[in-house]
Amino acid sequence: MELPISLVRSLDLTDPLTFARYDPRDIWPQARRHAPVFWHEARNGKPGFWVVSRHRDVQAAYNDAQGLASGRGTVLDVLLRGDDPAGGKMLAVTDRPRHRQLRRLMLRAFSPRVLGAVAAGIAERTSQLVESFTGGGPFDFAAEVADRLPMTTICDLLSVPRADRAQLLRWNKMALSSQAPGDDGLDSLGARNEIVLYFMDLALERRAAPGDDVISMMASADVEGERLTPEELALNCYSLILGGDESSRMSSLVAVHELAGHPKQWGALRDGEVPVDTAVEEVLRWATPAMHFARTATRDLDLAGQPVAEGDIVTLWNTSANDDETVFTDPRSFDLARTPNKHISFGHGAHFCVGAYLGRAGLRALLSALAATVREIEPHGEPERIYSTFLFGYRTLPVAFTSR
């Protein structure tokens, strides 16, 4: 049910409960039609910010990397506390020209040579894990499958010792969401710090004794004639963990939840009536795991008729853009055969996600494994949503897979 624009403008978009209480697809339609760019008033000691909801405006804002900069921060709850301390050091929160140089380095980590073997490993692990839980009764897909796959992939890419991976997953879960309403955010901040400190130690080890892994590659590379500092190495490893684990984990959870709830769509995928790659794109659109990204205006500018002042925070709501009726036919329909599919789940422009290939590979492996192994996906109780203003997804997902 679409929320009236008066209610939408009164919602606190800085409160995770807002996104647990309302379906994001119900929040945005009236905003796109009647207030596509509006000012979110300051509240609870947090500054106000602009809210952008239409696909074309979000895309235009992503394309204006000079007027709308990333260096102060790109996640709302971090940016509202002040400048992100990772600014200028971590790829996602760095502006040109430094951004271009860091991006070139990070793309080496995601080259076809590196990712070919990684993608093959994803497919094999996913197939084995899905098969192991098929025909065995109800289980929590979040804990037993989704928690294991993306983190294992990224940790393999970075050659993180196996003994450390469970702790990294626990920290990562806390970094961008909370387990219960009312958390004060200190646990999230502490988790982020722990991840950075962990990778600083690991980067120093790899610099002293390089191996054939991504951290060693980054530690030995030059950017503008200089090596990255241990902090810069750690922050960019943290960025890979966040993007590679959290967004992929949420996408896989939403995929299984929606397939269970749309048996005709599941049947079309299972029976080969829909290409897996086409289905992957619809899952990414529907899930939109990163609900927003934020920017800061570097100058006075006009955004869809609204006067944005230098220094203003601007939030770009991917979750709304991916549901825009002017771009997607019947966007409230989960349609695995949808094409074209101009979603912006990986962002757009200069900051388009460097891990997009890996994210797609993980979903492709999951959908392929389900289609090959599972006859029916049966829900067993209500899933629990995570509490976050940034991520959309589930923390539990009880299901059963019956065997083909």
- What is the total count of domains within the chain? 1
pLDDT exceeds 80 at position 66: yes
Cis amide bond preceding 97, omega within 30? yes
Q: What whole-number distance in Å separates Cα of residue 351 and Cα of residue 95? A: 9
Dump strand ranges (E) for 240-312: 292-297, 301-303, 306-308
Do the domain assignments include residue 299?
Answer: yes
The pLDDT score that the predictor gives to residue 177 is: 55
Domain membership of residue 178 (yes or no) is: yes
Virtual torsion, Cα 340, 368, 167, 391, nearest 10 deg: 20
Estimate to the nearest angstrom the gap between the alpha carbon of 98 and the chain centroid.
23
Is 56 part of any domain? yes
| pLDDT for 284 beyond 50 | yes
**Per residue in 249-270, pLDDT tens?**
899 999 999 999 999 999 999 9
Asked if the structure places residue 391 within a domain, the reply is: no
Examine residue 340 and say whether the peptide bond preceding it is cis (omega within 30 degrees of 0). yes
What are the pLDDT digits (tens) for 183-240?
545 467 788 888 889 989 988 888 888 887 888 888 888 887 888 898 998 888 888 8
Q: How far apart are CA 236 and CA 307, in angstroms?
A: 34
Domain assignment of residue 248, given as a range: 5-381
Length of the chain: 404
Burial 329-366 (b: 16+ CB within 10 A, else e): eebeebbbebeebebbbbbbebbebbbbbbbbbbbbbb
Query: Which of 166, 160, 167, 162 is CA-nearest to residue 201?
Result: 160
389 in a domain, yes or no?
Answer: no
Residue 184: the pLDDT is 47
Do the domain assignments include residue 86?
A: yes
Q: In this structure, what CATH number is given to the domain that contains residue 176?
A: 1.10.630.10
Q: Is residue 398 part of a domain?
A: no
Whole-structure pTM value: 0.92
Domain-located, residue 320: yes
Among candidates 240, 252, 27, 278, which has minimal Cα distance to 125?
A: 252
Handedness of CA 342, 343, 347, 353 (dihedral sign): negative
